[in-house]
Amino acid sequence: MSQMNRRRALQLLAALGTTGLTAACGTDGDGDAASAPAGEPIKIGLIAPQSGGYKTIGEEITNGFQLYLDLHDQRLGGHPVTLLTADEGDSAETGTAAVESLLRQGALALTGVVNSIVMAGIRDTVEKARVPLIGSNASPRSLQSVVYIWRASYVLDEPGRALGPYLAQKLSPGSKVAIVAPNSPASRDVIDGFKARFGTAGSADPRISDAVVWTNPTDSPGGTTYAADIRKALSRNPDAIFCDFAGSAAAQFIRQLYREGYRGPIYAPGFLTEGTVLSDVQEAESRNIVTALNYSADLNNTANRIFASAYRKHHNVSPTTYAMASYDAAQVLDKAIRLAGSNPTSQQVNLALGKIGQIDSPRGAWQFNQPRTPQQKWYLRRVQRDGRLVSNVLINELATLG
């Protein structure tokens, strides 16, 4: 960490009343910004939903990126940053319009993107423009052979791949798992990953042989949107449910599942209980939920103590994987822009992204693999009361994937 950034972190931690974090001020290999000449101002474009069911996730990725700027004097790679924002909407067309708007304004690099449909839809526009995009959420498995798109989050089949072996070992041979998920490309990736790693038999395992119950893929469901599909899943008398929902859809699914009488275990990617979901449902409704995710706010490492403390100070809530990945996207750009030199171009930044090496992240150390996605740890979490709050409590590590 540079001398200037070290001072900024110490100032913030002093304001938080946090102690015992002196180790956070060690060297991180970024160079010494205090002795380096100030770079020319640059613009970074952040793409996120500004309305609809994913608006909250969009706010979290914006908060995560901005927090990194706040802790680093509003600079990336020694350059003062203007953060431009654009609404990704919910389609390839709206996402493309957002990208084009940011490029017209002179963005050196792009970040953000929540919806996998949007990410797939903007692929060719980003590649043609030759401007790097550090995705901080959406990461469809089909996004292959890209040069300018990097992802600081995960690949969407990975949460299922992480959770599959754990659940296969935990359930008895005669058990049955009902799978319920929106009929969307993102959920198909998640479920394919889960089936591929569920024991050794994969999708042929009799415990998950029943067809998936596909639901309406809306991100703004009503109070009965999932009722009929849940009843269909429960008619199979499952011993466990595996599902894949996020945001307002997750809260509605959890409530409606409870209302239909289900009291058994629920397994899911951690998106099910991220953000405001646990505050939007009753404690009884969220019992027996176990999730897999690449982050937990109670991870005990120096980078996370700084990040989580600062995030709680700024926003009065614990950070999510969405905010964390966006914070890391800013860190990735910080390193790459510094490597690209005093007058960086988008192409130079993209080349530098391949040279930044390991990231000291709140999730734990990770680095980009050949497909430009993180090689990282995945964690098992359980929803339970932690002090006065119902939280995602870290249980143990599941796997390293990527």
**Would you state the pLDDT for residue 198?**
87
pLDDT band at 200 (very low <50, low <70, confident <90, very high): low
Q: What is the pLDDT of residue 199?
A: 65
Q: Global pTM?
A: 0.87
Residue labelled with tokens 């991180």: 28
Of the pLDDT bands very low, low, confident and very high (cuts 50, 70, 90), residue 23 is very low
Mean pLDDT of 125-133: 98
How confident is the model over 69-121, as pLDDT tens digits? 999 999 999 999 999 999 999 999 999 999 999 999 999 999 999 999 999 99
By CB atoms closer than 10 A (0-12, 13-18, 19+), residue 166 is buried
Mean of all residue pLDDT scores within the chain = 89
Kindly report, residue by residue over 270-303, the tens digit of the pLDDT: 999 998 999 999 999 999 999 999 999 999 999 9
Using an 8 Å Cβ cutoff, are 23 and 302 in contact? yes
The pLDDT value given to residue 13:
46
**pLDDT (tens digit per residue) in 348-361:** 999 999 999 999 99
What letters, b where the CB count within 10 A reaches 16 and e where it falls short, cover 94-129?
bbbbbbebbbeeebbbbbbbbbbbbbbbbbebbeeb
Q: What is the pLDDT of residue 387?
A: 81
Evaluate if residue 398 carries a pLDDT over 70: yes
pLDDT of 233 over the 60 cut: yes
Share of the chain above pLDDT 90, in %: 80
Using alpha carbons only, give the angle 237, 293, 165 rounded to the nearest 5 degrees: 55
Q: What is the mean pLDDT of residues 307-315?
A: 96
For residue 50, with 0-12 CB atoms within 10 Å meaning exposed, 13-18 middle and 19 or more buried, which class applies? middle
For residue 28, the model assigns a pLDDT of 45
Read off the amino acid at residue 335. Answer: K
Residue 373 has pLDDT above 60, yes or no: yes
Using the predicted structure, report yes or no on whether residue 27 has a pLDDT greater than 70.
no
Mean pLDDT, rounded, for 375-383: 97
Q: Return the structure tokens found at 69.
A: 């700027």
Q: Report whether pLDDT(389) > 90.
A: no
d(CA 187, CA 195): 12
| 10 pLDDT more than 50 | no
The yes-or-no verdict on residue 18 having pLDDT over 50 is no
Tell me the mean pLDDT in the region 180-206.
Answer: 84
Q: How far is it, in rounded angstroms, from Cα 116 to Cα 215?
A: 17
**Per-residue pLDDT for 36 more than 60?**
no
Range with the poorest average pLDDT among 1-5, 92-96, 160-164, 349-353: 1-5
Q: How confident is the model at residue 144 (pLDDT cuts 50, 70, 90)?
A: confident
Structure tokens at 17: 């009343």
Is the confidence at residue 34, as pLDDT, over 70? no
Those residues whose C-beta lies under 8 Å from the C-beta of residue 157, and which sit 6 or more positions away, are: 141, 189, 190, 192, 193, 196
CA distance readout (Å), 330 to 45, 63, 120, 315, 323: 11, 11, 22, 18, 11
According to DSSP, the residues that pair with 242 across neighbouring strands are: 179, 267
